[in-house]
Chain A
Amino acid sequence: MDFAFTEDQQTITQAARDMLLETCTPAGLRKMLEQNQALDAARWATITEMGLPGMLAPEAAGGLGLGLSDFIAIAEAAGYAGLPEPLVELAGVAVPLLAEFHDDRGWLARAAAGEIIAVGHAANPFVTDADIAAALLLGHGNEVHLLAPEAVVLTRQESVDPFRRLFRVDWAPGPETRVAASWGLTAERGALFAAAQMIGLGQRCIDLGVAYAKDRNQFGKPIGSYQAVKHLLASAQVKIEFARPVVYAAAAELDLASLPARARAAHAKIAAGEAADLAARSALQVFGAMGMTWEVDLHFFLKRALALKFAWGTPALHRGTVLSRITSLATGPDATFAAELAR
């Protein structure tokens, strides 16, 4: 029993986090919007050179052969940075799904090398980044189909988060497009990595609020010296502190695929969503009217958190999973860990 990241995990996370924070700044995000850019080519090249898209792909496919726990804190850092590129969806959702196929038609290696694969799971009827995808994985009943971009028709659906470029995808399934009979744990991985991003987003909102509260003076003092302001931010930090370990545990347990493991991912999604929501609203309150403006950067993170809270299953759906776990399986202090329940 050791609930801590290894030194290797910390090293690779730190390197990825440093790169993301250095290259992905709010000023940079604004520039991308002005230029109507979907993807920062230089940053994506760096992300690919670091091998991040293929972290979870087997080494035989050019990946790093790592597990969910190795990527979870990088997904958190991507949230913290407000990363517009689909690294988390590619590395955390598309790649593990492709790796489960009997025949990936060469796409696993291409995804691991940074080619974008859009994922149209039933939980998310609007497909992100479908316009820049080299291929699309789409659902037909329980089946997974692989489509080329020229075989689909895209209709843009504007999101409140301008970096979430959503599309309705019209397409026709055929025997030649079918690649798998089921989605496996795709929905759970989607929820897990959305949760990790929301932890990062929430922390970013708090950090922005803290910086502003130190700087902004009212009644002759920084507003951050008043307890009413302190307690708003402290309460949000408590929410994050008790959501983050759930997210990390879910990453460590999800491969077991059992109900306790899936309920943990559901819990992670619920808890991270609530934490990010409280953090964003608390930071907004600290910023006051300025927080409602386009000028202040907070909205980049608030809007991403808003979108992710309802992507990959709503909180209500995930509560149902948790409820079925606690009413059908043992609970209590010796029933915490999914691996022990599987014995």
Chain B
Amino acid sequence: MKLEYTDEQRAFRAEVRKWMAENVPAEPLASFDLTREGFEAHRLWERKLNDGRWGMVTWPEALGGRNLDLIRWLIFEEEYYRAGAPTRVNQNGIFLLGPTMMEFGTEEQKSRFLPRMAAGEDIWAQAWSEPGAGSDLAGVSATATLDGDHYILNGQKIWSSRAVFADWAFGLFRAPGSERHKGMSLVLFPLDAPGVTRRPIARMDGELVFAEIFLDDVRVPVANRLGDEGQGWNVCMATAGFERGLLLRSPARYQVAASKLVALYEAHKQDLPASMGERVAQNWMDAEAYALAIYAMCSRLNAGGKIGPESSTNKIFWSEMDIAMTQTALEILGPRAELMPQAPDAGDVGDWLEDYIFALAGPIYAGSNEIQRNIIAERMLGLPRG
């Protein structure tokens, strides 16, 4: 046990910090969930990252990465968030589909999709949930019907983040007549293919963060299937492990938020009751606890371990922490908590309100926290299935 970086790790941090200082846009980019312009600005940022070989530092060098271990990935993420760099518009691709493709994809698929993913040429959306299949994902009814060397896709997908402007989607489909976990396949399809219709869904604050996708006889080659025919459920569960457990929510995000919260508290301390300090301290401790748990997890994975049910404990923890932290900030802001940043007297409200609204979705997406508690109870604790 050694809770200290090596000189090489410190040098790596300095290198990332320098690159970020020179390259992170001075002004925040426009939202990628409101306009095509904002989306494309984020795509350009992905391209810039990739040009510096910072797109995904854990990936093999042949795919634009640096072949680094997970501790360096954490250091990269720490510097990324410290620098206030743009949110990754391709997070569904690089954090979810990418690792899944490395595990289940053919060599042809890897060389066809991963370099374009790394370069931001293809921005990916996830197409799993359906109006009738949310927590019960095995209830999806969209079909992939084999027709020679093609699949014909039909059905409706929903809650697909970034899908309004994205280029490709990875979707969960079933063979006609198959039931539940059997007969599912993960199929990749272009979002501009004939027969695909996208309809944006406005979030409660007006941002178009997700979309419905309608598929009407969409033809894609069988070569677009990731993993074996009928193995879609297993492939998805591997993706879900990355999503809940590690890559989607690196600890730096919350540690930066905790630092901002401490600064907000310090700025308003003289007007606040002493109990507010304890709340801030608790939020900071939670962010530290999450970081330490992830460092321990990455140390274990570096030594050859696999992500297990702790992806579910992680997901519950970060989603609840995010809400608690943003709530504290709103309470410090008091009567200004409800003000939009453009309100004349908004002052230093910053992004806390939007962050809070986003945090509210945390216990829902990537598998609801109720489902995660079932997973913990059944797979970690060994309680009987209901």
Q: Which positions in A face B, CB cutoff 8 Å?
A: 1-6, 9, 69, 206, 210, 213-214, 221-222, 224-227, 229-231, 233-235, 237-238, 241-243, 245-246, 248-249, 252-253, 264, 267, 270-271, 319, 322-323, 326-327, 331-334, 336-340
Asked if B226 is at the interface (CB within 8 A of a chain A CB), the reply is: no
What are 18 A-B contacts defined by CB distance under 8 Å?
Answer: A4-B300, A4-B303, A227-B370, A230-B373, A230-B381, A230-B383, A233-B383, A234-B380, A241-B293, A245-B289, A245-B296, A323-B277, A326-B280, A326-B281, A334-B79, A336-B292, A336-B295, A337-B3
Is B82 part of the contact surface with A, judged by Cβ < 8 Å?
A: yes
Which of A2, A234, A333 contacts B82 (CB under 8 A)? A333
Q: Which 5 pairs of residues, A with B, have the shortest CB-CB distance? A: A230-B377, A333-B78, A333-B252, A234-B376, A234-B373
A26 to B335, CA, bound (A): 55
Q: Is the interface of A mostly helix, strand, loop or mixed?
A: helix
Q: What is B's interface to A at a CB cutoff of 8 Å?
A: 1-6, 9, 13, 71, 77-79, 81-82, 251-252, 255-256, 258-259, 262, 265-266, 277-278, 280-282, 284-286, 288-293, 295-296, 298-300, 303, 310, 313, 316-317, 370, 372-374, 376-378, 380-386
* A225-B386 in contact given A234-B381, A339-B4 (Cβ < 8 Å): yes
Q: Shortest Cβ distance from B31 into chain A, in angstroms?
A: 24
Set of chain B residues within 8 Å of A243, measured between Cβ atoms: 289
| In the complex, chain B residues whose CB is within 8 Å of the CB of A339 | 3-4
In the bound complex, do residue B377 and residue A336 qualify as a contact, i.e. CB atoms below 8 Å apart?
A: no
Chain B positions within 8 Å of A210 at CB level: 381-383
Contact B383 A271 (CB under 8 A): no
Q: How far is the CB of A319 from chain B (nearest CB, A)?
A: 5
Whether A231 contacts B370 by the Cβ 8 Å rule is yes
A322 touches B383 (CB 8 A): no
Output the least CB separation between B377 and chain A (Å): 3
Q: Is the CB of A224 within 8 A of B4?
A: no
Q: Cβ of B266 and Cβ of A327 under 8 Å apart?
A: yes
B331 to chain A, nearest CB (A): 16
Residues of A within 8 A of B386 (CB): 225-227, 230
Q: What are the residues of chain B within 8 A of A69 when measuring CB–CB?
A: 1
- Interchain CA distance A243-B285 in the complex, whole Å: 10
> Do A326 and B381 contact each other (CB < 8 Å), given the known contacts A1-B9, A241-B293, A241-B313?
no
Q: Please determine whether B291 and A233 come into contact, CB atoms closer than 8 angstroms.
A: no
Set of chain B residues within 8 Å of A332, measured between Cβ atoms: 82, 255-256, 258-259
- Which residues of the other chain, A, contact B313 by a CB distance below 8 angstroms? 237-238, 241-242
In the complex, which residues of chain A have a beta carbon less than 8 angstroms from the beta carbon of B284?
A: 322, 326, 331
| A193-B142 Cα distance, complex, nearest whole Å | 55
- Contact (Cβ within 8 A) A331 B259: yes
Which residues in A have their C-beta under 8 angstroms from that of B5?
A: 1, 337, 340
Q: Do residues A225 and B78 form an inter-chain contact, with CB atoms below 8 A?
A: no
Closest to A4 in B: B299
A226 to B381, CA, bound (A): 14
* Candidates B3, B71, B295, B300; contact of A253 at CB < 8 Å: B3
Complex partner residue of A225 from B1, B281, B385, CB under 8 angstroms: B385
Alpha-carbon separation in the docked complex, A326 to B261 (Å): 11
B376 touching A237, Cβ below 8 Å: yes
Contact B383 A1 (CB under 8 A): no
Is B262 touching A326 in the complex (CB atoms < 8 A)? yes
Return chain B residues, CB-CB under 8 Å to A338: 3
Nearest-neighbour CB distance to chain B for A141, whole angstroms, equals 29
Q: Chain B's nearest CB lies how many Å from the CB of A151? A: 41
- Chain B residue numbers with a CB within 8 Å of A246 are 285, 288-289, 292
Complex Cα spacing A4 to B304, Å: 12
Residue of B nearest to A337 (CB): B3
A231 to B280, CA, bound (A): 27
Interchain CA distance A109-B31 in the complex, whole Å? 67
Complex Cα distance, B84 from A333, in Å, reads 12
* Whole-angstrom distance between the Cβ of A277 and the nearest chain B Cβ: 15
CB-CB nearest in chain B for A267? B285
B373, A3: Cβ atoms closer than 8 Å: no
- List, in ascending order, chain B residues with CB within 8 A of A267's CB: 285, 288-289
Contact A233 B381 (CB under 8 A): yes
With most chain B CB atoms within 10 A of its CB, the pick from A227, A234, A235, A264 is: A234
**Do B4 and A3 have beta carbons less than 8 Å apart?**
no
Instruction: Judge whether A336 and B1 touch: CB under 8 Å.
Output: no
